[in-house]
Amino acid sequence: MAKTLYVGNLNFRTEEEGLRAAFSEYGAVTDARIVIDRDTGRSRGFGFVEMEDDAAAETAIESMNGAELDGRPLRVNEAQPRGDRRGGGGGGRGRSGGYGAY
């Protein structure tokens, strides 16, 4: 079964082929994509690599997390589904003092 990996802290000059080549050392890569900012057309500094085999994906995580690619240490882990992201969510009105305070 395929597993998707999140790859962060990419050099803004890293290209998808370089990303694919780096991860293909650990197994078959079915997809490698770098997220591009739609306003500027530049890399946003992270991307995703889909690996064909779960065992190869785990080996790639262990080997590539912290490894350097194009002069930057990568942050690699298993990608979370879009609806399962942690953190964020503010909202509500906090008590902050000043005018309009409760």
Q: What is the CATH number of the domain that holds 61?
A: 3.30.70.330
Say what the pLDDT of residue 99 is: 57
Say what the pLDDT of residue 49 is: 98
Q: Which residues pair with 72 in a beta bridge?
A: 69
| Residues whose CB falls within 8 Å of the CB of residue 29, separated by 6 or more in sequence, listed in order | 20, 23, 49, 50, 51, 52
Domain with 43 in it: 3-81
Alpha helices in the chain (DSSP H): 16-24, 54-64
Counting the structural domains of the chain, the total is 1
Phi, psi of 35 (to 5 degrees): -80, 130
Q: Is residue 22 part of a domain?
A: yes
- The tokens for 55 are 């065992």
Q: Is residue 34 part of a domain?
A: yes
Of 43 and 94, more confident: 43
48-90 pLDDT, tens digit per residue, is 999 999 999 999 999 999 999 999 999 999 999 887 656 555 5
Q: Is residue 62 part of a domain?
A: yes
